[in-house]
Structure 1
Amino acid sequence: MSTLVLETLIDAPVERVFDLARNVERHTETMGHSERAIAGTTSGHLEEGDVVTWRATHFGIPLELTVEITEVDAPEYFRDEQVDGPFAEMVHEHYFERISANRTRMTDEFQFSSPVGILGTVVDTLVLRRYLRALLEGRNRELESIAERQTD
């Protein structure tokens, strides 16, 4: 399984960043690729036990990914796991650390593996790691921008 770890420092309170990161509408807004929630919890904040199906186009291919929020420890952590979708396995852990009253360290730990054995491992290494890192970095930049503009 491949693992990506990204760290983003955001000048906003941890509670705001945590809520933005698990908000369905913000997810749609920050991911691009015509991504949208099509089933399950399709609006508001995702909570433990919620299931959502996302539809997006990647590499010109329309894909659906269904994830379940399997753990929430507000405002420090949540975890989503693929229930159904293109990966053989996918787990995304989100960590939020209060640095100060208005500064948060957000860390993504994204674990994934492609189907089809050794061929999937080659695709992970040559293509998906770079693509998914860029996708997550773009989302994090957008979340940072929204969080830093917003006032409570």
Structure 2
Amino acid sequence: MAFYQFKREQFIKSNISEVWDFISRPQNLKRITPIYMGFDIRTPDLPDEAYEGMIIAYTVRPLLGIPTTWVTEITHVEPQKYFVDEQRVGPYKLWHHEHHIEEVKDGVLMKDIVSYSPPLGVLGQIANALVIRKKLEEIFDYRTKAFEEIFPG
């Protein structure tokens, strides 16, 4: 099984409470996901803040507009520090996404660590080299811009 990690850091001109309030609210995922991905939350009546054990179902269209069901579980939460989501149903053999925030001088440092394993063995490795890694970079580039607009400082 091929295993990869993708890491991204971003400085946000805000305070830890405001950043946590935003990132811990599942409804905000759509605001930081590229429109072309057709991201839609399917879980009705989500609470205002993620909690351990929370299951969230989505439809997403990452490639060629083909709808894919993705179900994640919030497995760990330390308010105003971090939370982790893990795929339960979806396109990856493994998906573990850590969202960390820490207060720093003049703002907040947000760190994302995505540990993942594509399906299909060698074909998944090739797909990672050709498509998956680039898509992750593209998605997180979009998120960087979205956070700059949401938190202009």
Tell me if 1:55 matches 2:59.
yes
Q: How many residues align?
A: 148
What do residues 22-49 of structure 1 show as CA deviations (whole Å, max 9, x unaligned)? 2122111221322111026645221111
Give 3-state SS (helix, strand or coil) of 1:25's partner.
helix
2:116: which partner in 1? 112
Letter in 1 for 2:115: Q
Instruction: Find the counterpart in structure 2 of residue 86 from structure 1.
Output: 91
| Unaligned stretches of 5+ residues in structure 1 | none
Distance 1:79 1:118 in 2: 28
Name the residue aligned to 1:38.
42
Runs of 4+ in 1 over 4 A off after TM superposition: none
CA contact (8 A) 1:6 1:137 kept: no
Within-5 A mapping of 1:20-39:
20-31=22-33, 32=35, 33-39=37-43
Matched, 1:123 2:145: no
Q: 1:148 aligns with which of 126, 132, 152?
A: 152
1:90-112 CA-partner distances (Å, limit 9, x unpaired) = 00001101003x50000000111
The verdict on how the C-alpha distance between 1:68 and 1:43 changes in structure 2, with shifts beyond 3 A counting, is: same
Give distance in 2, aligned partners of 1:107 and 1:125.
Answer: 23
Structure with greater strand share of residues: 1
Q: Which residue of 2 aligns with 1:77?
A: 82
Structure 2 stretches lacking a partner, 5+ long? none
Letter paired with 1:22 = S
Identity, in percent, stands at: 26
- Taking structure 1 as the reference length, the TM-score comes to 0.89
CA distance in 1, matches of 2:40, 2:25: 12
Structure 1 residues 18 and 144, CA, compared in 2 at 3 Å: closer, same or farther? farther
1:134 equivalent in structure 2: 138
How far 1:21 moved relative to its partner?
Answer: 1.2
Partners of 1:57 and 1:129 lie apart in 2 by 16
